[in-house]
Chain A
């Protein structure tokens, strides 16, 4: 492999890796406040892209993206209120199965609304053939959008959880739900907020990656699998771990093309998922001790 190609693959890997990481962070936010894996997370990404694409007929791009994010957040809140909130002391397994059902429901609804066609948002800057030269690599400006937006999201999230009262209360629910209730915190609302937040983040990711990856009614599922792999690899609930694990998986996938056929790319992430679940279920960066104390 030439040095140029090496860097080209590296950049492609990082781009995809960051996208996986954003999906994984969506998993983590909900996991942290409820202890469940929301398997409809990939559908939030798809919904964000699809809604923005539809809105683009009526409003300019920035507004369409904002609209996609806001509407997906509302969908997230609605889902939580309709399907999770009223459950009295549900088991983790039951909630997870509910989210799997929801992901199928959203996917089929999307098929009815948008059909099977593959769509995409236009490039935020320039078009398909615009490139920026960074030393030995040529990249699309959209890649910089993905990196920038995702970087800002990660940064804002960590500020949100550290500094704001709402973020603090959500962390408190994660750390000890009963103690949070004893502090007078409305733990149920925190769950709704976490669904809204992760739906919004998923939707934003869906918008910025849409020009590169395209959006289709079922494009959420493979992303959810990759995102789940990354969340597990980084240690469930650990957002910084997710970023590192995402970049790692992205790079592995990118370089795998030189060794195995492209068709095996998805198999690689699932293989990694299985190995991690067998060997190190608490992930690369998670604490084994904390994982043992968890419900599942």
Chain B
């Protein structure tokens, strides 16, 4: 689905990502964990075309994304749930979702958007209750659900989520992650970027650990959870053998 080889990217002279290689296959949840400033958000922005890679290649569904505009990559079926939700605060919940269906409408027409809207309301019942409310007045968890629903409205092949758990109560985080698992059950592919390593590795199939712009570890999620370095650095637990 997504294949990145030897990619480098950054802002101006600042090289944030160095020699990144990773892949995401259809139907799996892949998580990318790392501390603040490791380059997780830059990685997602490079995949979706908001930041241009300076070296290496990015292939999405076999298509070279390096020179494509962000909206073309979105239209090709790659959706990003941005960090900090970024909902359209001054617009209603339903308007937010319909805007998320913009590329679906262009591809399959208005009826498809309305069908997908129903599907999102079923996935996030709280959004149906608040459909006429302004998005900016929702709680943090509800805004996160709205941001996810908005991204899913385009019926993407790959959903990328940037720290969906930030600033949310543990119970809400559990709800969010339950939805991520359900997305996989429905056949979606998810690339989940998280600081909350335990929760992310708990639901993921595979994981990558990003540190100062490099992938330093990768493997099945279970192996990473058991890895001593990961436990020490990201799970806050030191096992003395």
Residues of A bordering B, CB below 8 Å: 165, 168-169, 171-172, 175-176, 178-187
Chain B residue numbers with a CB within 8 Å of A184 are: 71, 74-75, 102-103, 106, 154
Q: A169-B99, A169-B102, A185-B102 are in contact. Are A175 and B71 (CB under 8 A)?
A: no
6 contacts between A and B (CB under 8 A): A168-B91, A169-B99, A171-B90, A178-B86, A182-B48, A185-B71
Extra A-B contacts (9), CB below 8 Å, given A178-B82, A181-B71, A183-B103: A168-B98, A171-B88, A172-B99, A176-B87, A179-B86, A182-B86, A183-B102, A186-B71, A187-B71
Contact, CB under 8 Å: B95 / A168? yes
Say yes or no: A176-B88 contact (C-beta < 8 A), given A182-B82, A183-B150, A186-B71: yes
Q: Which of A169, A182, A187 has the most CB of B within 10 A?
A: A182
* A169-B102, A181-B71 known; A176+B95 contact, CB < 8 A: no
Residue B9 CB within 8 A of the other chain? no
In the complex formed, the residue of A with least CB distance to B86 is A179
A residues near B86, Cβ cutoff 8 Å: 176, 178-179, 182
A185–B99 touching, CB < 8 Å: yes
Interface class of chain B by DSSP: helix
C-alpha spacing A247/B105, complex, angstroms: 41
User: B50 contacts the other chain (Cβ, under 8 Å)?
Assistant: yes
- Is B100's beta carbon under 8 Å from chain A? yes
Q: Residues of A contacting B71 with CB < 8 Å? A: 181, 184-187
B70 touches A (CB below 8 Å): yes
Q: Given A171-B90, A171-B91, are A180 and B50 neighbors across the interface (CB < 8 Å)?
A: no
* Count of interface residues, chain B, beta-carbon cutoff 8 Å: 26
- B87/A179 in contact, CB under 8 A: yes
Q: Which of A178, A183, A186, A187 contacts B99 (CB 8 A)?
A: A183
Residues of A near B48 (CB, < 8 A) are: 182
- Check B79 for interface membership: any CB of A closer than 8 A: yes
What are the residues of chain B within 8 A of A168 when measuring CB–CB?
A: 91, 95, 98-99
Q: B79 contacts which chain A residues (CB < 8 A)?
A: 182
How many whole Å from B205's CB to the nearest CB in chain A? 25
Chain B residues whose C-beta falls within 8 Å of the C-beta of A176 in the assembled complex: 86-89
Q: List, in ascending order, chain A residues with CB within 8 A of B100's CB.
A: 183
A179 CB contacts on chain B under 8 angstroms: 82, 86-88
The 3 residue pairs across chains A and B that have the minimum distance between CB atoms: A184-B103, A184-B74, A175-B88
Q: Roughly how many angstroms separate A182 CA and B75 CA in the complex, as a whole number? A: 9
Residue of B nearest to A162 (CB): B95
Bound complex: CA A206 to CA B71 (Å): 37
Complex Cα distance A204/B105, Å? Answer: 33
B 57-91 to A, binary, CB cutoff 8 A, 1 in contact else 0: 00000000000001100110001101000111111
